[in-house]
C-alpha cells in the first residue's frame, strides 16, 4: 500500500503556501455548503507516531466554524467501552448531518495495536477487517462522506522526531510506551499497516497515504479533502454495490401459512409460567456472571400482545441486569444520523439483557410503507441489519427476534374490546385503525423481512399469540433454550 503514496507536487514553497491558503478558503465555503445540503463528513487521520496527526487536524479546523465540528482523539478503550463491541464507540461518535467529525487515529490504530500488542489471531483479524469495511460502506451508502488519511514517515525521521521530543521535559510525556514499541518494531508495524490498508482500501472509503516528511503534505491533504467534499456535494458518490457476501438464511414460513390454533389452559399455564420464570431467573444470574450480552427484539401486529409478553420475561429477570427499550418515531437528533445510530447507542454491555420493544426493523416495515425512506434505503437495509446483528453476534451476543403473530380477525376483536373498555381506551388510537387498513401491505413487508433477515446467529421466531398464554410460554422456552445452549458452549 505504501507505494500508493500520493505524489508530491514539485513546486516552490511560496506557491505551495499560496495554494494552501486558497484551499483553506475553499474549505471555509464548503463548510457552509455542507450545512445547507446536510452532508455529514468523517475525516480519519491515521499515521505513525510523531507524523504530525494532531497538528494537521489543528490546522484544518482553523478553516471551520468551531460549532460545526468535533475532534475525537482515540485512546485505549475505557472500562465501559471495553464492555461493548469494537465498533460501538466509533458508531456513537458519527456526526449528524451537516457536521464534521475528525478522528485523531481511530478504528485502524486500535486494530494495529490489537495485532501488534494483543496478538489478535488471524481469524479475528479477518473478522475485524470485515467489520471495518461494512462500517465504512454502510456510512457511505447512508450519505456520509468518509475521508481516510495515513501520514507516512520513514523510521529515520521518526527516530529523529522522537529523540527531539524525548530530550525535553516539556514534551517527553507525548511519547508513550506504545510509541516506543512502534519505533523499535517499525518494520513489523509497517508490514501490518500495509496489509491492513490494502484490505480496507475500498471504493466507499479509499486510503490516501501522505508523505509526512514533506512541506507540501498539507497541500495534499487540503486538495484531497476539498475535492472529496466537492464531489460529494455534487452528488458524486461511490456506486452502491450489492455486497458479494450474502448471509446463509434460515427458511421461514409465510405468515399466511402459520396455524394459530395453539392453546394452553389457565391451570397448566400458571404452572409452566412459574417453572419457566424460575428457570430463566437462574439463567440470568449465570449469563450475568459469564458476562454474556443478550438482545431480544420484539416486533408484531398491534394488539398481538407484545407488552404482556415482554412483562412475563422481564418479571423473571434481575432488574439490575436488564433494560426494556421502547422504540417510537425517531427524535430530531436521531433522524439526522445513520438510522442504526440510535440502536447502537442502546445495545447492552456484556452480561446485560436489552429487550427492544420494536426495533431497527421499522426500516423495512413502517418506514418502507409510509415512504419515510427511499426504496433504495429499505432494500439495502436487510443486508445492513444482517451485518449489524452479525457484528453483535461475533462480539458474543445472543440475539433472538420474535414476531408476535395474530390474524386479522383477532386484531379486530381486541381493538373492539379496547374501544369498549374504558380502562383500555388509551391503548387504542386512530393510528392503530389506520395501520389496520394496511394489513395486507404490512403482511407482504413482514414476510419479506422474515425471509431476508433470519440468520443462524439472529433467528426470527414466529410466536403464535392468538392465545397469549401460549405465546408467553413459547418465548420463555425459546429464550431458556438459547441461554442454556450458550452457557454450555462457554463451560
**By the criterion CB under 8 A, which residues form the site for a copy of itself?**
29, 32, 36, 54, 57-58, 61-62, 65-67, 70-71, 73, 78-80, 102, 104, 173, 289, 307, 310-311, 314-315, 318-320, 323-324, 326, 331-333, 355, 357, 423, 426
Between residues 263 and 429, which has the closer beta carbon with respect to a copy of itself?
Answer: 429
Distance CA 344, CA 348 (A): 9
Between residues 25 and 456, which has the closer beta carbon with respect to a copy of itself?
Answer: 25
Between residues 80 and 188, which has the closer beta carbon with respect to a copy of itself?
Answer: 80
Least distance to a copy of itself, CB of residue 55, Å: 9
Between residues 206 and 307, which has the closer beta carbon with respect to a copy of itself?
Answer: 307
Neighbours of 45 (CB within 10 A): 25
Number of H helices, E strands in the chain: 20, 10
Task: Retrieve residue 312's grid coordinates.
Answer: 412475563
Least distance to a copy of itself, CB of residue 258, Å: 26
Task: Retrieve residue 158's grid coordinates.
Answer: 521518526
Least distance to a copy of itself, CB of residue 57, Å: 5
Distance CA 51, CA 101 (A): 20
Between residues 123 and 332, which has the closer beta carbon with respect to a copy of itself?
Answer: 332
What SS3 state is found at 181? Answer: helix
Least distance to a copy of itself, CB of residue 207, Å: 22
Neighbours of 157 (CB within 10 A): 15
Neighbours of 174 (CB within 10 A): 14
Between residues 319 and 371, which has the closer beta carbon with respect to a copy of itself?
Answer: 319
Asked if 252 contacts 450 with a C-beta cutoff of 8 angstroms, the reply is: yes
Least distance to a copy of itself, CB of residue 78, Å: 5
Strands 207-211, 145-152: parallel, antiparallel or unpaired by DSSP?
Answer: parallel
- Half-sphere exposure of residue 129: CA atoms within 13 angstroms, side-chain side: 17
Least distance to a copy of itself, CB of residue 169, Å: 12
Least distance to a copy of itself, CB of residue 364, Å: 22
Distance CA 138, CA 240 (A): 10
Least distance to a copy of itself, CB of residue 351, Å: 12
Distance CA 351, CA 286 (A): 9
Contacting residues for 113 by C-beta, under 8 A, at least 6 apart = 76, 178
Between residues 274 and 311, which has the closer beta carbon with respect to a copy of itself?
Answer: 311
Rounded-to-10 torsion of CA 359, 324, 285, 81? 70
Asked if 14 contacts 215 with a C-beta cutoff of 8 angstroms, the reply is: no
Between residues 427 and 436, which has the closer beta carbon with respect to a copy of itself?
Answer: 427
Amino acid at each position: 500500500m505504501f507505494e500508493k503514496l500520493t505524489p508530491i507536487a514539485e513546486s516552490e514553497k511560496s506557491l505551495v503556501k499560496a495554494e494552501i491558503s486558497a484551499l483553506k478558503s475553499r474549505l471555509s465555503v464548503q463548510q457552509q455548503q455542507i450545512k445547507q445540503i446536510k452532508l455529514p463528513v468523517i475525516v480519519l487521520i491515521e499515521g505513525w507516531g510523531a507524523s504530525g496527526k494532531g497538528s494537521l487536524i489543528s490546522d484544518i479546523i482553523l478553516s471551520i466554524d468551531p460549532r460545526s465540528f468535533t475532534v475525537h482523539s482515540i485512546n485505549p478503550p475505557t472500562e465501559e467501552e471495553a464492555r461493548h463491541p469494537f465498533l460501538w464507540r466509533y458508531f456513537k461518535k458519527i456526526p449528524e448531518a451537516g457536521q464534521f467529525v475528525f478522528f485523531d487515529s481511530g478504528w485502524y490504530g486500535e486494530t494495529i495495536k490489537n495485532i501488534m500488542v494483543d496478538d489478535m489471531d488471524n481469524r479475528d483479524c479477518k473478522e475485524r477487517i470485515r467489520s471495518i469495511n461494512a462500517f465504512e460502506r454502510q456510512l457511505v451508502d447512508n450519505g456520509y462522506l468518509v475521508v481516510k488519511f495515513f501520514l507516512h514517515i520513514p523510521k529515520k525521521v521518526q527516530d529523529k522526531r522522537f529523540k527531539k521530543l524525548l530530550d525535553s521535559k516539556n514534551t517527553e510525556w507525548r511519547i508513550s510506551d506504545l510509541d516506543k514499541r512502534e519505533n523499535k518494531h517499525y518494520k513489523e508495524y509497517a508490514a501490518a499497516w500495509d496489509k491492513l490498508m490494502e484490505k480496507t482500501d475500498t471504493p466507499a472509503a479509499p486510503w490516501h497515504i501522505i508523505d509526512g516528511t514533506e512541506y507540501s503534505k498539507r497541500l495534499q491533504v487540503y486538495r484531497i479533502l476539498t475535492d472529496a467534499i466537492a464531489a460529494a456535494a455534487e452528488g458524486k458518490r461511490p456506486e452502491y454495490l450489492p455486497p458479494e457476501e450474502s448471509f446463509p438464511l434460515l427458511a421461514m414460513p409465510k405468515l399466511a401459512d402459520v396455524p394459530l390454533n395453539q392453546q394452553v389452559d389457565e391451570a397448566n399455564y400458571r404452572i409452566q409460567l412459574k417453572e419457566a420464570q424460575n428457570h430463566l431467573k437462574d439463567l440470568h444470574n449465570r449469563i450475568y456472571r459469564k458476562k454474556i450480552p443478550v438482545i431480544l427484539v420484539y416486533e408484531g401486529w398491534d394488539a398481538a400482545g407484545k407488552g404482556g409478553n415482554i412483562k412475563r420475561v422481564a418479571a423473571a429477570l434481575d432488574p439490575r441486569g436488564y433494560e426494556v427499550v421502547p422504540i417510537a418515531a425517531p427524535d430530531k437528533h436521531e433522524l439526522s444520523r445513520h438510522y442504526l445510530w440510535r440502536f447502537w447507542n442502546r445495545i447492552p454491555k456484556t452480561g446485560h439483557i436489552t429487550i427492544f420493544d420494536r426495533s431497527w426493523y421499522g426500516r423495512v416495515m413502517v418506514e418502507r410503507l409510509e415512504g419515510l425512506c427511499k426504496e433504495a434505503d429499505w432494500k439495502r437495509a436487510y443486508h445492513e441489519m444482517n451485518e449489524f446483528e452479525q457484528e453483535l453476534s461475533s462480539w458474543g451476543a445472543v440475539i433472538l427476534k420474535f414476531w408476535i403473530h395474530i390474524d386479522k380477525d383477532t386484531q379486530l376483536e381486541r381493538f373492539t374490546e379496547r374501544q369498549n373498555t374504558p380502562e383500555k381506551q388509551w391503548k387504542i388510537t386512530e393510528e392503530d385503525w389506520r395501520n389496520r387498513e394496511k394489513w395486507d401491505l404490512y403482511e407482504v413487508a413482514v414476510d419479506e423481512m422474515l425471509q431476508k433477515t433470519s440468520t443462524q446467529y439472529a433467528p426470527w421466531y414466529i410466536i403464535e399469540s392468538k392465545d397469549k398464554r401460549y405465546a408467553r410460554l413459547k418465548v420463555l422456552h425459546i429464550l431458556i433454550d438459547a441461554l442454556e445452549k450458550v452457557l454450555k458452549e462457554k463451560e
